[in-house]
Structures are given as C-alpha cells and as structure tokens.
Structure 1
Amino acid sequence: MKFVESKVISLSTLYLTLIIVTLFFSCKEKDANAIGSNEAIISNENTFEFTNELIKETSPYLLEHAHNPVNWKPWGDSAFEQAKTNNKLIVLSIGYSSCHWCHVMEQESFEDKRIAQLMNENFVSIKVDREERPDIDIVYQTALELVSGSGGWPLNVIALPDGKPVYLGTYHDKNSWQSVLKKFSFEYKNNPENLEEYALMLTKGIQNVNENSVGSTIKSVNKRLLDASVIELSEIWDNEWGGNLGNQKFVMPSELNFLIDYMVITNDSRVKKHIKKTLDKIQLGGIHDQIGGGFFRYSTDANWTVPHFEKMLYDNAQILSLYSKAYRVFKNPAYKNVIQKTLNFLSTEMKDDHGGYISAIDADIEGEEGKYYLWKIDELKNLLNEDFELFSKFYTIDNNGRKSEQKYLPTRNRSLKEFAKNNSLSTAKLQMKISNWNHLLSEARKNRMTPKKDDKIITSWNALLVQGFVDAYLALGNKEDLEKAKNTFSFLIKTCYKDHTLAHTFKEKSKLTDVFLEDYAFMIQSALSLYKVTFDTYYLNIAQELSQKVLVNYNLEKSGLFKYSTSNELISKIIRTDDGVMPSANAIMAKNLLELGHINYDTSLLEKSSTMASLVGSKFLQSPQNFGNWGVLYLNDLYPYFEVVVVGDNAKPLVNKLNSYYMPNMMLLGSSEKSDLPLLTNRYVEGETYIYLCQDNTCKMPFQTIDNVLTQFRDLGYFGIE
C-alpha cells in the first residue's frame, strides 16, 4: 500500500510529540480478558468489587471486562454523548476473546486501580469486541496502519469526543500506557486545537484509504498480465517450506484457492509444485493439531512448527474448503485425512447446542499459551509405554517443541507411507497405531483444564463453514457432510434471518442487530452451493432474495462496488476489496452475481460482476497475494466459462460423479424434473438424462455419459484433470 506509506510520513511527522512509540506485542489474530465500574454486585460464587455497564452485554469478551475498575461502556450514542457533555477524550479499546496480548494488557493495566482511576477521571472508556463490530475495527485499524505501518490487537485508541483518533497503539505495558494517558490528557486540556487539527488530518487519511479501494487507474487484466502476476507472486514463495517467505506464516486460503484454479486451467507445473509443497508442509506441521484435528491461527516460525494456539472458526472453515478442493484435484489420501479430522474437530469442539458453531477457542490456560496442547516426556512415556519410541519418531518429539520448557508439540516431517517404509511397518499397522496414539492423547487432554471458548455465533463465519461442509461433501461424497451444511444453513436462517432481516451474531438474549456485507455475501455463496448440489430451488430463492437486498442497500453507484455497512455512525465509510483473514466480501459478491447471472441469464448481473472485477484490476496486479478471490474472477473472464447442465431422472448420480473432479470455470447445475429456469427450460426429456455443455446459454448437442464431457474438457487443452 504505497499510498498509505506516503501518507504516514506526512501525518506522523506533523505532530511527532503526540505519537508516542507504539509497542507491537500485538495479536496477529488472538485473545482477551477484562471488565469494570464502581458498584458492587453479588453472584452465586463471587462478590465483585467493581461492575460496569458491560455486565449487560452478551459478548464473552466484553463480559470478561465487566468487573474491571475501569468504567467501561459499550459502543453507542450514550458513550459519545457523555464524552461531549463532559468534554473528555475517549479511550477506545478493541480486542477479542482469544487474543493473548488483550488478556495481558487487561491484567496489567485495566485491572490496576491507579490506571483505572486515571482513565475514569480523564476519559470515557469504550470496549469493543471486534468480532461483533468488525466495521469499527476496520476503521481504526486503517488509522493505525497509517501512523505505524502495521496493525494488531489489542487496538487502543485515544480519540476526540466525536470519535476522530489522535493516538493509536497496540499492546502497552502498564508504565507506557500510563504515560500515554497522562500525555494526551495534558495535551487536550492545554492544547486542544493541536489535537483537533491532527485528528482531522488523520481522519481524512482514513477516508482517502477507503476511497482508494478502487485502483487509481482502471487497468484491465489480460492473460499476459495474469501470468505475470503469478510470476511476481512466485518471487515471495518459500521453496523449502511452502507458503510465502516470512518468519510468521498464515495459511492464506484465498491466495491458494486462486493458485489451484490457475494451475488446473493452465497446467502450470511450477504452481502445482508450490501448492503441493505448501499443503503438504502445513498438514505435517504444528499449525495443524495432529492429535485433535483442526488448525491453529498461524505459525510463529517459517516451517509451520510452533503455532499461536488459538483456533478460529473462519480459519478452519476456509482450510476445510481448501483441502477439499485440493483432494478433488490431487486425490492425495493425506488431504482426505485432513478433511476428516477437521470435520471431527468442528463437530466435537465448536458445535453449539443450538445448531451453529462458536467463533473461537482460546490459546491460554492460566496465562500459559498452548498449555492444553503441549506434552512433557514423562507424560508421553506413561501414556504410550512401549510405543513411546516409535511415537516420538513419528511425531518428531526430539526435534521440536519448547525444549527450554521441556514441553513438546507433536509434529511430523514425512508422509505416513514413507515413515512406514523406513520403519519396516505396513501402512495399515501404522494407521492403527496412530489412531490408538491419538485416542490416548485426546482422552488425556480431556482431563486437563480446557481452554475458554467464545460461544457467540457469527453469521458470516458460519456461512463460510456451510461452504466448507459442501466442499467436503463434493470431495468425499459423504451425505452426512451435506446434512451438516443444510442443518447449519437452516439454523442461520432460523436464528439470524428473522423477519427477512439478517443479523451478524447470534447469542441467547443478544440484542445485536448489526449486519455487514460479509454476512450477506457468504450466506448467498453458501445458498448457491447448496442449490447446486441439492437441486432444491429453496436455496436459490434465498440467494436471490439476499442478493436483491445487497443490490438495494449496499450498492455504491459512484464507486461501482459495495460498501461494508449501511451504518453512517463511523468517521469513515468502508469499502473493502482485499482478502484479509477472510475472503473479500466484494469479490464474493461479484462471484455470486456472476453465477446468478448465468443461472437466470440476467445480463445486468453479469455486467455488474464484470464491472466490479475491472475496477479492482490495478490493485490485483500490484498485490496479487491480497486479491486472490478477484484472481478467480479474472480466470472466469479470460478463459471459457462453462455452464454444465444435467437434466433427467438420473441427474443426481451424474452430477455427483462430475463433482468428484475439480473443474474451475464451470458452473454445474442439475434437475430431476422440468424447470422454468433459463438454463434448464426445455431440456427435460422423460425417461432420459442428458448432459449439456453450454456457454452463455448456448449449448452443444447433449451427451449421456460423463466420459464424453471429460473428453471435451481435456480436448480444450487447459483443464488439468488428473
């Protein structure tokens, strides 16, 4: 973001004395704990010295701060009115329940009575759960990136009574936080005009960043430029350990999804090698919970060994989709194992009693990160007995872990087949041993204190999981995975789409009504995916209904894209086009409109999708690793895009068989009966089942066997079907 970097210089040098050094012990995506007020309450178990307004909230993160001595308030009009009435600065602290350094700062500063007194006397203090209000987090993270070049959590902001920021930082120890509070309290009382001038400039910078979500120049992406962007992307690949170069590594599903599509279409051997190495190394590493399944947030080293130990629903949902797609392409049994273990983890550890899936599992126990997942040698020997030596070799116990603490995390460095051969074991016998080992350790872990869970249910994250379940069904063909997708989607409609109004979160007694573009985009995507595999037009109707709401309520005529929120309460509107930890909601909406346009042969939707993609072209070419979902759309545009329609009594098994292959640039629809949908109309012949290969609603003569279809694709020369 060169625009941002240049803006930082002009802003940060203007009032350097106001921007005290920001400390960066922040969560790249992690944890929290805290609460406060001056009124005692009595619970069944505890008498609390302090209780603040957060006690009325339902967010676990906010409730953790409800008994801090800080007089925390939830985000809302009353907090800002109090700041304006009393002419006080605002302290805005943003975090989330599984953020390690959020917990640390709460314990060090927000539970300290002297710090609390300083905050209560001079500031109005607001706590925000970024998972409930991602829009607030986006605005102030943008400001933090402007003044420091990077972001993180906890995000601590000092702002004017109208919300314009004058200071932003992440984790502070108690002494530095106290210094920041005193400095800005003094400045506001003695030099308010300086702070107001700086706040205005910084706010304009935030607004400019959002206005530049669209490239400064609209540059169309052609095949040559697309190929060049992949070559540019390859320059940051880690050729030894997979993923991108760096001392910390995230899985990056959006980027890898694009590269898989590109590889399948173009048969690019270098991309293929990178994808396989990356996926192989990830599933062998410590970022993958080898014992209990599921994936941790990110790796703190370059070789995927030592993770930050929180588990987030959106990570696991996307990684489930990623390995499901990869299994359809490569048919690697190790990927199948990842899918199955992740599904089991989600069902046993993240499923809520109501039918949805919770948002996160904490990393810490009693202030120690990873304690639940790490093992001492003596513990392993007592559990495994004579199998300890073989277990240690398989899970490389002597080569990893926190040796200074004598605690170890099971990881692997070779495939099951290779290990079995090197140790004179049959693959079947080794699999039995692994199953037994994992069962023993899983049962032993249950006797430990378990990590806290953030039990709020987030619509957009659950919608991503619906997509993950559908992708797992396409990969493995297990009907129970399709049922999970249908049941989760049904839960979301029942609890988060009441009176045709979508909500961002669900929790019993929750009053939240905020909703964001990502909620609509991912719900529409999952509805379309369910329609394509079930043939049930109920899901198509939901997708069309939600899409119409987006087109009416979120469309920005001036930019051609969709805004993040319909609210006007923040200091800047938000237009996001890049992939962050989740896919770009704008890119997913463009893909949704593309599919709906083809299904209904609605050229206005196709044109809208194409326009959106063209607007982001220059951004993609500058930074392809951050715009992977747009890359998929460029592939859809630059290479032939097919509608494959299967109609007839035998449509379901034929569609299921076709779905066992992964073919990008193809939308597969089916129907076992007559249909009035434009792509399906007049194609049903009683007693027969036909497969139509179409482009822009123009079809070749129909086939009756899948082999004919696959031959057609292979003859086209760019589908790398294994």
Structure 2
Amino acid sequence: MANRLAESTSPYLLQHADNPVDWWPWSPAAFAEAASRDVPVLLSVGYAACHWCHVMAHESFEDAETAALMNKHFVNIKVDREERPDVDAVYMTATQAMTGQGGWPMTCFLTPAGEPFHCGTYYPPTPRGGMPSFKQLLAAVVEAWTERSDEVRTAAGKLVASLATHSSPLPQSTVDLDGAVTSLLGDFDRRHGGFGGAPKFPPSMVLEFLIRHHERTGSVEALSIVEATAEAMAGGGIYDQLAGGFARYSVDAGWVVPHFEKMLYDNALLLGVYTHLARVTAAPTVSRVARETAEFLVRDLGTAEGGFASALDADTEGVEGLTYVWKPQQLVDVLGKEDGAWANTLFGVTDEGTFEYGTSTLRLLAEPSDFSRYEQVRARLWAFRTQRPQPARDDKVVAAWNGLAIEALAQAGRVFEEPSWIAAAIRAAVLLIDVHMVDGRLRRTSRDGTVGPSFGVLEDYSCVAAGLLALYQASGEARWLSEAVSLLDLALARFADPATPGAYFDTADDAEALVHRPSDPGDNATPSGASALASALLTASLLVGADRAGAYRQAAEEAVARAGVLASRAPRFAGHWLSVASALALGPVQVAVSGSSPALVDAAVANVHGGAVVVSGAPDSSPLLADRPLVDGRPAAYVCRGYVCDRPVTTVDDLVTALSRE
C-alpha cells in the first residue's frame, strides 16, 4: 500500500506511517475513496504527546489482524488534532454529544459525506471495564453499515443538523466580574489550591484574571486564590523540580503525580501568570519558578529554526514518567548518604512512593532553609537525569502556541530584565512571519523550517497578533506592530460572523467546508480564538493610530459583550474573557515614555496592571508617542486610562504614584 503519511510535517502522523493500517491523511481524496467503495470512514484523532494514543496504536494499529479488518471495511483517516484543530473540534463536539465525554485518542465513524454516526475515544484490544474490544466495535459498525445503511445515514444527518442548531452565537450580556470571582471562590480547593478535584489542570487563565481583579479592586480573596494555587503547583509533582516547566495536569487533586507530557501552551500561559504575580508579591518562589519556566521554554522547547516545539512526550521508551521518577536509594547513589537523605526528605521521596512500583515524583515540600545546598543538590540530580532516556519531542511549530510563548517571553524579559528571552521571542516571531505566512495568509504549523499544509484558524491569527504586540512593546521595533495589525485585519475580515456583531467562527470564510463550521467561544487549555482576538484588538487599539483605534476597540467590546453568559455560567471556562473585560474596566492603562529613560520604563513595567501597554521612544516615533514631547527637556511618562490622561511626570516616584491611583 502507498505510505500516505510519510511526507507529513506532523510528528504524530509520522509515528503511524509504518502501521499496517492503510492510513489516509485528512483529504477530499479519502472521502471520495469511501464513497466509491461505499464504506464508512474510520477517523482516528490524537497527538504526538498523548499517552493513550500511543497505547491504542501499539495495541490495535500495529496489530496485523486488526489492521486487516480496518483496511477491508473502512477508509482510515489519521488526524493530528494540533495540526487540524477545526477537524478535531467538529468531531469532538459530536463525540461529547453522543457519549457525554471526550478525549484522545478520539475514534469516530463517518459516512462518506463526513457525517458522524458513532463516536468514542480509547478502545482496548480485549473487552474491559464494560467497553467492547476495538475489533468487536469494528464488527458492530460493519454490521450496522451493511444491514442498516439508510438508517445510519439518516441518523448521522440528524446529528449534524442538531450540532449546527446548538452552536449559535451567545446573546449579548454584561460580564459580571465580581460575580465571576464569587463563583470561583465557591469552586476553589482550599486544601490543595486550584479548582475541582482529580484530574486537576493548571487554571492559568483564571489565575491571570484573578491577578487583574486584585490589581483593579484590591481583593484579598482573589489574590489568596492565586498565591495558594501558584505555591501548590510550584511545590508539586506537576512542576519539574529539576529542569523547570509544568506537566499537562495532575492525575490527583493534590498536584502530586502529573500526566508527564509538557505542552508549550501550558508553560507559556503559566510563565505569564508567575511573571505577573511576581509584580504583586514578594514571594521568592514565584520569581524563581517564572525564571525557570522561561529557561525551560528556551532551552528544551526551542527549535533550531527559532520557533518553539509543541510538547515533550508523556512516555519515555513506552513507559510513562520513566525519565522523571525516583526511589530513595537512587538519590543516595547520586548524592551520597547525607545529601541523599536530605534530598529525600526535601523532595518527598519515600519507600512507599507516590507513583508506580515504589517510585516517587519530586515535590518541593518546603522552601529549603539552605538554598545554596538545594541548588547544588538540584544541579547534581538534574545532571544525572540527563543521562537517562529522554522523552520524545513533538518538534512541530504551532503558530498559536508560539504566539503565546512570544507574548510570555517578551513580557517576562521586560519584568525580569532578561534580554535573552526577548531575543528568543524575536527569533520565533521571525520564523512565523517568514515561514508561516504564505501568500498573505497564516499557516498553522511548520517543522524543520518547512511549512505545513493546514491553514491557520482564528486562534493562530489572534495569539500570534497578541505575541507580536507584546514584542513591539518590549523591543520597540515598529515591524511587529505592523505585522500584528495585518493579522488582526485579516481576522476581522475572514472570521467574523457577518450576521452577529462580536461573534466569530474558528475557521476562515474560505476554509475547507466541514459538516459544521466550528465556533467555540469557551476558553479551555488555551484561550478561545474569539477571546484571544478580543484581547489583541483591545491592546492594538491603544497602540495604533486613530484610523484603526476606534474600530479595534469597538470590535473588542462587541466580542466581550458576547461572553457575559459564559462568564456567568462557567467562569472557569471564561478566564481569558474575564481578563479582557477586566482590562476594559481599567481603561485599559497606557504608559508612553517619551525620550530615553530606562528608569521610567522599568518603573512602568513593574507597576502597571494586567492588560496595560507600555511604550517608549523618541517623541512622535510611534502612534502612542504622538504629540507627547519631553517636559522641560527631560524624558516624561504619560499615563492614560481609556480616554482620560494624567499630567506627564518626569520622576519614578511620581510615575509610581500615578499608576497606583484607581
């Protein structure tokens, strides 16, 4: 059979290129083949760092008998959800509608027209826990298709119609910021930090909103949630105590045992949270974790072409967590008896273990009293760990997630005065503009400097624009503002719902037509495309000239007005929306430093609230600096909130005072 996945830029598809399954990539040709053979499509969706995707691949897709059944009775399509989030979104919605839950691997059976008629997730090779085996499922689907084909097609068509009616835009409503905080307080896990029970995910965007709420209102409760959660995560097994960086989630409520994959988007968002929290708290852990996370991004996820890789795998040589877990004797062997015993106590490594087979994840159970000793022990353990087998890296570059990384590194570079992080953000931005922009449109992915075939979705345009706006402020290079404006104009032109001001589709108006055009406003693992767009539009409205500023702000306000119901009913899935609404409530704040004054710039960066912009340069060198001259020949800072400005100030103390006013 033809190896149709061999030329893919997706590491996930390449992992399946040698399967005995006759895989097709997502393409019109695959559906044409299903129609000509009059067989269903078996759609399998996953991603490279997914543990259970690997398990199902090994158990079923590498099995010759199972593959023979698949090849005989289906056209089999393999999709990388990170490369085609539009395809994933459509069929995940169907899976959740059919089963009440979702996840990956996702397994869907479709008509040759692409309409789903049976969906699920992982299926074992033998019956288990009430689940049929995968081969039993295949046989049942074949029987239904053969014996009741008309009935199956009719049901699939009704499901697609139902999905379309349930995806209408949200009504306009006011975002209740105080009400959202009250609701979040009720969901807060006061024992372990975070929200809800196991599995527990880092609530990055909710924490960002709560920081902004504290900055805006002085709320002690909001800040306490952030501090408790940030400290708990930083001390837990979800955080890599040796190399920095966060795992995807904790399988328990106490952040002890992670699902070991490390995703770019999680670490970019968490870098932002810890950076912004460092502006309002003196806790040494917060700054340390921010610095270590930034270094992890640059060191372990940076690619040779300048971008950032998508993820580190959950597994090492097929074993989850193999790289990361320890037994007490192993620490003694590496460190010696005295330091090993000290490290076992510090990191919570016990004979009973916290993970599998008597192994433990490393946690920092208390801030070390002897920090110098801690640093030496950590360095020795990390050096030893680098000699172990290492997890695979999904080195495709995803535009949206690189946008998040650019934004976080640019902001952290300013706050912590680390120009190397800003330089790393610039390298990634150059890659996105030079490689991902093709014929004036943004592509979703690249790998090894070769752009992939998938067109960018709304989150790509929005997150990259937001990253470039942060980079413009950090670097002062006008190019990044210009590129961001181009992306925002494209997003407004191609993704807006023309019938509903403030509503957006996740795919462009000229994108491949799927059975349903996705439009999900909810913030999940990453900001929704619409909330990211609203944020970027609001920021851009403060940085561009008058010809665009009003339109951008109006578009941001109209988008936020569609998020009120979501923020009220499910604030944990509206964190980014709430941050944008909070910035709107503050003005947002704008600081323009006219003239060369690193001291004024540093003071502004250290004291602004979330969502603010800080620009510096010669008078009239940028739109925000227009008509803002020096004062008595001295550099001056101009502080505005929305459309109201204070008098310019020339000293750091006066600037800090101006920024502290409500």
TM-score range, shorter chain: over 0.9
- 1:352-403 deviation line (CA, Å, top 9, x unaligned): 1121111111111232110111112332211111211111111111287446
Q: Secondary structure at the match of 2:613?
A: strand
1:661 maps to which of 580, 591, 607:
607
Q: Secondary structure at the match of 1:644?
A: strand
Which residue of structure 2 aligns with residue 486 of structure 1? 426
Deviation of 1:432 after TM superposition, in Å, equals 2.1
User: 5 Å matches for 1:191-202?
Assistant: 191-202=148-159
Which residue of structure 2 aligns with residue 81 of structure 1? 32
Q: Does 1:137 align with 2:77?
A: no
Which residue of structure 2 aligns with residue 463 of structure 1? 403
> Counterpart amino acid of 1:614?
A
Which residue of structure 2 aligns with residue 407 of structure 1? 359
1: CA distance between counterparts of 2:60 and 2:46? 15
Q: Secondary structure at the match of 1:460?
A: helix
Deviation of 1:460 after TM superposition, in Å, equals 1.2
Contact 1:691 1:703 in 2 (8 A): yes
Which residue of structure 1 aligns with residue 415 of structure 2? 475
Identity %: 30
2: CA distance between counterparts of 1:261 and 1:692? 22
1: CA distance between counterparts of 2:315 and 2:485? 43
2:136 maps to which of 171, 179, 188:
179
Contact 1:241 1:281 in 2 (8 A): yes
1:570 maps to which of 507, 514, 521:
514
Q: Does 1:620 align with 2:567?
A: yes
Mean CA deviation greater in 523-532 or 686-695: 686-695
Q: Secondary structure at the match of 2:280?
A: helix
Which residue of structure 1 aligns with residue 280 of structure 2? 329
Measured on the aligned residues, the alpha-carbon RMSD in Å equals 1.9
> Counterpart amino acid of 1:703?
V
Which residue of structure 2 aligns with residue 103 of structure 1? 54
Contact 1:675 1:681 in 2 (8 A): no
- 1:427-485 deviation line (CA, Å, top 9, x unaligned): xxx22222222222222222222111111111111111111111211321122222222
Q: Does 1:535 align with 2:441?
A: no
2: CA distance between counterparts of 1:188 and 1:404? 43
> Counterpart amino acid of 1:191?
R
2: CA distance between counterparts of 1:590 and 1:510? 27
Q: Does 1:702 align with 2:643?
A: no
Q: Does 1:644 align with 2:591?
A: yes
Cα pair distance change 1:248/1:513, threshold 3 Å: closer
> Counterpart amino acid of 1:220?
T
Contact 2:410 2:421 in 1 (8 A): yes
Which residue of structure 2 aligns with residue 604 of structure 1? 551
2: CA distance between counterparts of 1:132 and 1:138? 12
> Counterpart amino acid of 1:606?
R
Which residue of structure 1 aligns with residue 130 of structure 2? none
> Counterpart amino acid of 1:258?
F
1: CA distance between counterparts of 2:463 and 2:161? 31
Cα pair distance change 1:406/1:97, threshold 3 Å: same
Structure 1 ranges of 4+ moved more than 4 A: none
Which residue of structure 2 aligns with residue 446 of structure 1? 386
Mean CA deviation greater in 196-205 or 701-710: 701-710
Mean CA deviation greater in 506-515 or 616-625: 506-515
2:494 maps to which of 553, 558, 565:
553
Contact 2:591 2:613 in 1 (8 A): yes
> Counterpart amino acid of 1:608?
A
> Counterpart amino acid of 2:173?
K
Q: Secondary structure at the match of 2:304?
A: coil
Which residue of structure 2 aligns with residue 388 of structure 1? 340
- 1:636-673 deviation line (CA, Å, top 9, x unaligned): 333443322221233x4311221022413533222224
Q: Secondary structure at the match of 2:173?
A: coil
1: CA distance between counterparts of 2:446 and 2:661? 49
Contact 1:265 1:664 in 2 (8 A): no
2: CA distance between counterparts of 1:536 and 1:510? 25
Deviation of 1:701 after TM superposition, in Å, equals 2.3
- 1:198-230 deviation line (CA, Å, top 9, x unaligned): 10121123223322xx32x42223xxx321221
Deviation of 1:626 after TM superposition, in Å, equals 0.6
Q: Secondary structure at the match of 1:103?
A: helix
Which residue of structure 2 aligns with residue 278 of structure 1? 229
Mean CA deviation greater in 103-112 or 473-482: 473-482
Which residue of structure 2 aligns with residue 398 of structure 1? 350
User: 5 Å matches for 1:154-165?
Assistant: 154-165=105-116
> Counterpart amino acid of 2:497?
L
Q: Secondary structure at the match of 1:660?
A: helix
2: CA distance between counterparts of 1:686 and 1:483? 34
User: 5 Å matches for 1:158-557?
Assistant: 158-175=109-126, 176-211=133-168, 214-215=169-170, 217-221=171-175, 225-385=176-336, 386-398=338-350, 401-402=353-354, 405-416=357-368, 420=369, 430-508=370-448, 509-557=450-498
Contact 1:57 1:510 in 2 (8 A): no
Contact 2:600 2:655 in 1 (8 A): no
Mean CA deviation greater in 658-667 or 299-308: 658-667
TM-score (norm 2): 0.94
Q: Does 1:691 align with 2:637?
A: yes
Q: Does 1:589 align with 2:533?
A: yes
Contact 1:649 1:687 in 2 (8 A): no
Q: Secondary structure at the match of 2:582?
A: helix
Contact 2:594 2:628 in 1 (8 A): no
Q: Secondary structure at the match of 2:70?
A: helix
> Counterpart amino acid of 1:563?
F
Contact 1:210 1:573 in 2 (8 A): no
User: 5 Å matches for 1:92-131?
Assistant: 92-131=43-82
Mean CA deviation greater in 401-410 or 614-623: 401-410
Structure 1: tracts of 5 or more residues without a match: 1-37, 39-50, 421-429, 717-722
Deviation of 1:713 after TM superposition, in Å, equals 3.8
Cα pair distance change 1:110/1:321, threshold 3 Å: same
TM-score (norm 1): 0.87
Mean CA deviation greater in 160-169 or 532-541: 532-541
1:674 maps to which of 578, 596, 620:
620
2: CA distance between counterparts of 1:101 and 1:595? 39
2: CA distance between counterparts of 1:636 and 1:374? 41
User: 5 Å matches for 1:20-39?
Assistant: 38=1
2: CA distance between counterparts of 1:447 and 1:612? 50
